[in-house]
Structure 1
Amino acid sequence: MMDALGLRLPIFQAPMAGVSTPQLAAAVSNAGGLGAIGVGATDAAGSAEMIAETRAATDGPFNVNVFSHETPQPDPEAEQAWLDLLHPLFAEFDAAPPARLRTIYRSFDDDPDLLALLIETRPAVVSFHFGLPGAQAVRALRDAGITLLATATNTDEGRRIKAAGLHGIVAQGIEAGGHRGVFDCRAPDPQLGTLALTRLLTAELDMPVVAAGGIMDGAGIAAALRLGAVAAQLGTAFIDCPESAADAAYRAALHGPGGYRTRLTSVISGRPARALENRFTAEDSVARHGTPPAYPIAYDAGKALNAAAKAAGEHGFGAQWAGQGAPLARTLPAAELVATLARELEAHR
């Protein structure tokens, strides 16, 4: 896969929807790695703009990541109960919760326009998070010459990715920042670590595996390669690059005490995701007494609460996703960070 993509370095930048930008993706690709943009939080028109902007800034391959989550089923009663539970937090900032919650992101499976766009623009790589698309979509993307990857958090998901005919697996360990890529949030999660999951998948499945989760430097990349991975995917390492879309509060929190106490929580979006410890993740009354609606319906409430808090000068309700390696984050331009990672990797081979 690495040779087919023409990559000089086994370094993938995680897509990080909302944080990754075309500028970040292009800088990583130009430096010899695989840059990525996450388009799961936008529509086909927004995706087209991001792809065009990335392509204008690099001749190298890049990854376009989409969300293949199960279509959420509205549940007005559960949604109202969740809004009622959040009401005191909104009131703290002299704001009211939304009157109702919306499905703010469409699944790739429900967006034929996005599929048509990917077939037309043919990015080098398309990757799937939260599950797999239907066989017809996989076949169409493969026929377009696109390399296809999907996230697995356990061996069963890895087997399903192979059976679906994709080209590779992103092995996401429990250490990873952002949303867990679990196919079914209702199923038991073995919460495998990156190294164990990578080794299990490389030992069992005869296909390329990209290790992801908690990897922040060349030593971590080297460890993943020794376990059989073809590359390592890093996300948190790139948050404080100037090319990322992270705001100042997010960057400051990354280097603060919350970086040592990341939490896996569903209260922000409705799906389990690892974030820096902040006001929202530490809101015990929400975590103990309520169950959020389905993703991404719950995220509508989370985003509204964050907007209300920020307007009042409180930045502790943001989706400040980060992995367990957060304290190792560096403040470097993306190209310089990739070059540093390459030197560290060479030193640890």
Structure 2
Amino acid sequence: MKLRTLSLVLCIAAITPFANAKTLSVKTETGNIQVKTIAEGLENIWGMAFLPDGSMLVTERRGRMRIVSADGKVGEPLAGLPEIYAQGQGGLLDVVLAPDFTSSKKIYFSYSEPGKGGNSTAVSFATLNGNKLGNVTRVFSQQPKIDSGAHFGSRLVWAPDGTLFITLGDRYSEKDKAQTLDNHQGKVVRINADGTVPKDNPFVKTPGALPEIWSYGHRNMQGAAINPITKELWTGEHGPQGGDELNIDRAAKNYGWPVITYGENYGGGKIGEGTHKAGMEQPNYKWVPSIATAGFIFYTGDKFPQWKNNILLTSLKDKTFVRLVVDGEKITKEERSLAKELDQRLRHVVQGPDGLVYLVTDESKAKIYQLSPQ
């Protein structure tokens, strides 16, 4: 297949053969890479998780979950999903394997759940059995439900201690609730795998506070990952018009939305009180103007040695793949690439068991890309 050479910025080892793969050659700061299209025929991919056999469990926002084989074949939708509100920004969202998946066959997934009063983000687990989900059990439901099609979050991240972090949006029309603890709008919550509340959550003993809450003052977090060095949670957050944020997400902290922000109203106009206020956290890193940050990971593989423990981050509006160099708690460098050449809204990035990097796109004709060293 003829390769098209692009002048860009990135790096990754052995290339897995995929049927009908389309390949680009990309020059980056850290060496040349190949970008392969390994799967097509999907719609608005939101989440992806690798299964032990190398196949990929993929969610489509319209309410379908599929298995994509290791050679790129797209399977039929899995049966057994609960009712899903698949409108606006809502639908089937993230998916992760349970830490004990090998023995339990459990997966966890987030979705917008319809119900009395509107809809909200919910999380369920299920047992994966061939092309069917069984024993579907809801372990979390964002409260209260809102009649809105916007700002659902939501990423799922396992903490080292086996608890589950869930990022939740402010639902757009309810942004002021991000500052109060009697609801789940604009919050990170932390639960046990069975849905119970960890006894060491920060607001368990706070009168009037929902005990699941870990942190608050967020807008719409669609990225989250555990730092492999510090073992702390980092979250990525959509600003309004400008002001996307990357935060080190710590217990009981208030991240300011909508009182402080580096963004402004759509079309212009101040939001809140400015960019700083006592008792409210500053972003660890920010983008002004906004790039519409989405999923990200800390790269821990060996195929891209120059990327070790770097953040690899996707964006929607800017159609950009970003590498952030991390030194302790500080971002020391930002490198952007693959933006205009792919011309795709990038929803998430996943590290494969082979140490390669995989990108998924939020398009009506969505694709899965594999990045590998040339």
* Fold similarity call, TM over 0.5: no
Q: Scaled by the length of structure 2, what TM-score is found?
A: 0.28
Q: Name the structure with the higher strand share.
A: 2
Q: Scaled by the length of structure 1, what TM-score is found?
A: 0.29
Bigger relative contact order, structure 1 or 2 (CA pairs below 8 A, ≥6 apart): 1
Q: Name the structure with the higher helix share.
A: 1
